[in-house]
Amino acid sequence: MTTSDELIGLVRAYNPNTNAKLIQKAYDFGAEMHEGQFRRSGEPYFTHPVEVARLLSDQHLDDSTIITALLHDTVEDTRASYGEVANKFGTEIADLVDGVTKLTNLQLSSSATKQAENFRKLIMATSKDVRVTLVKLADRLHNMRTIRSMPQEKQVLKARETMEAYAPLAGRMGMQWMREELEDLAFQVLNPEGRASIIRRFIRLQKETGDVVEHIKSDLAELMHGANIHAEIQGRAKKPYSIWRKIEAKEQSFSRLSDIYGFRVIVEDEAECYRVLGLIHQRWRAVPGRFKDYISQPKSNGYRSLHTTVSGRNARRVEVQIRTHTMHQVAEKGAAATWAYRDGERQINPFALDPSEWISSLTERFATEGDHGEFYEAVKLEMYQDQVFCFTPKGDVIKLPRGATPIDFAYAIHTRIGSACVSAKVDGMRVPLWTRLRNGQSVDIITAEGQKPQASWIEMAATGRAKSAIRRRLREDDRDRYVKLGRELARVAFEAVGRKVTDKALATAAKHFGLLSAEDLLARLGSAEITAREVVSEIYPNLKVRSTDEVASDQAVIGLDPDQTFTPATCCQPLPGERIVGITYRGAGVIIHAIDCPKLERFETQMDRWVDVHWQEGQHAATHTVTIDVTIRNGVGVMGRICTLIGELKANISDLNFMDRKPDYFRLLVDVDLRDVSQLHSVLTALEADSDVAEVSRYRDVTRDPSDIGAVAE
């Protein structure tokens, strides 16, 4: 464990004016409070806050942040109180510790609604003082580095939470190194086979080509020396998860992936960045469409750099990033650069952006919504996406996430323009509203009086702002219809568990979802933003309807070892009564597939992972979800009657998603909880016989991964 003298020495190296006595006092207080506590690995618990403090000292953060790291678990896990911390270390540090404690208590892997609500609290805490989030991110990084001592189930839970929330948050705050490490550590837990396959391919590639990184670094250094440019050259192979994500996104094999290796050329000033770019393009052939200028158009988190991909040594494609030392500091430290110290003084970095500005714009935009889900969606969209820069006819720059459409562009200008949008011109040519915009395009939005947003726009839009505005307007326009449909969905769901839907029950559920009234809840139900299953679960979390002769859910499949667990595959949604086969996954037990599932082809060369299983005979509980694709007439009462028809067959509607809304017909996907394949046939037959149903079929999404954590076909 790092000693107090070592920690103080690390801080003093970049901040000679550090308050060493206060850091020593915090170190001693933390050690005293955590005395007798141990981590699951057997180490003294205090090793954790010390390592978190050390991580933050590597970022050259101020004394208050270092001390907060040492004390961040004292109020939560020891007898220490907020008042005691305030008396000993001051209100500023006590408030920071309190903020980290509140973040620690948030469960981001809970139910979707609770997760969204807690994520909003996380973002709100960041807006008050970014140092709270910096400590929490460092805390999560050290926990992920030492996660192997935790039970497997807890590892998966924490890894998924890290992948979905903390890693992208670190990236949005500009701390790309932390994002990459968090993602790779989570990837190692969630998909160890996938990570191992990438590493094996890397080893094979190195044997074939030698040390590519050192060769290309040498080539770049020689090029810079010849041009009398003083530059720092960095090179590395990219993280396994980064490569896996590119393979998945581009649907390319490992051997065809162009940017497995990344190189940086760090120079003194901006002019030299463009000079280096010219030299590299003269020396190697540039790959068309792979140049990005984030110096003239910085990312929203302050990131600046030139990116280019060239055909380097042996025609292997490599990505080169060119930036100044000041830009590099922001690229490495992100939000931490705002608080970084050097020689005892806060560093002034002109490129460092305070993420609280971005967060404030989000919180203001959604302050009146009361909708945690929309806020969560908006934040995730902004955290995950790169940006494109487009121009208005007057030359103003509009920043949008990659994949944005003219609809997003219109709503980015003003909600009124977005709602009245009828078409768009891109670079002078009329294009469909679903067109994906590219960097540098000029966009002209054409509006018409009386135009209203269409439901199909939600799928076209890529920004949380546009999606939120469209949903809000649709709710206003269709509220009465949605309320009626929601009431019918609620009635069917409550009857399925032997309860009657009452105004009091709906009002209680509305409070649980953070809504103002039962009518608001019904409107959300009718618009498929909340499922009837979620409503019932909120009110009756422990209620299970099962007859005494039903097969227990944990005994539904025969052929597994006593210590094996199973999960139905989401791609084929197998039902009792169908032939099935199991595929083993490390960390996920056995995934059960229908025998005709197309996904099974990828495992034909891995027969050791196949498990011969079959369904237990007897009556199964109605807990097996199947998706039905149904097209119905858009008429008064049709939707309600269809829901009633499904409910009369003792099938519970757990989710409903409108895929296409036309003036005369609706196409929707309905998730139905069923007992077995015979009940499915009864539901399909009854729906097909209805005069207002145009088409109905079982829906299987072969693009879904068979499990939540991915599969490896190698």
pLDDT given at position 118 = 53
Mean pLDDT of the region 382-388: 57
Q: What is the pTM of this model?
A: 0.55
Sort 203 into a burial class: Cβ within 10 Å, 0-12 / 13-18 / 19+. exposed
| CATH number listed for the domain at residues 546-714 | 3.30.70.260
Cα–Cα distance between 196 and 571 in angstroms, integer?
24
**608, 711 Cβ separation under 8 angstroms:** no
Give strand pairing partners of 673: 625, 652
Q: Which CATH number fits domain 357-470: 3.30.70.100, 3.40.50.920, 3.40.50.10330, 3.10.20.30?
A: 3.10.20.30
Interval 610-653: pLDDT, tens: 888 888 887 787 788 899 999 988 877 788 888 888 887 888 88
- Which positions are annotated as active-site residues? 76-77
**How high is the pLDDT of residue 140?**
92
Question: Bigger pLDDT: 212 or 615?
Answer: 615
Place of tokens 């135009």: 451
Per-residue pLDDT at 510: 86
What is the model's pLDDT at position 109? 47
Tell how far CA 584 is from the center of its chain.
26
Residue whose structure tokens are 């079929």: 697
Instruction: Report helix, strand or coil for 252.
Output: coil
> How confident is the model over 332-356, as a mean pLDDT?
60
Give the strand pairing for 261-267 and 317-324.
parallel
| Whether residue 545 has pLDDT greater than 50 | no
CA dist 672 to 496, 623, 680, Å? 12, 9, 9
Domain ranges (residues) in the chain: 4-175, 199-333, 357-470, 474-543, 546-714
Give backbone dihedrals phi and psi of 576, rounded to 5 degrees, phi first. Answer: -55, 135
Q: Which residue has the tokens 């790092």?
A: 2
Q: Are 147 and 124 in contact (CB under 8 A)?
A: no
Closest CA to 557 of 534, 531, 591: 591
Q: Do 130 and 354 touch, CB atoms closer than 8 A?
A: yes
Which residues share a beta bridge with 558?
Answer: 614
CA–CA separation, 199 vs 193, rounded Å? 10
The CATH-assigned architecture of domain 199-333 is 2-Layer Sandwich (3.30)
pLDDT of 709 reads: 40
Could you say which of 1.10.645.10, 3.30.70.20, 1.10.3210.10, 3.30.365.10 is the CATH number of the domain covering 4-175?
1.10.3210.10
Whether the per-residue pLDDT at 546 is higher than 70: the answer is no
Q: Per-residue confidence at 208, pLDDT binned at 50, 70, 90?
A: low
By residue count, the chain amounts to 714
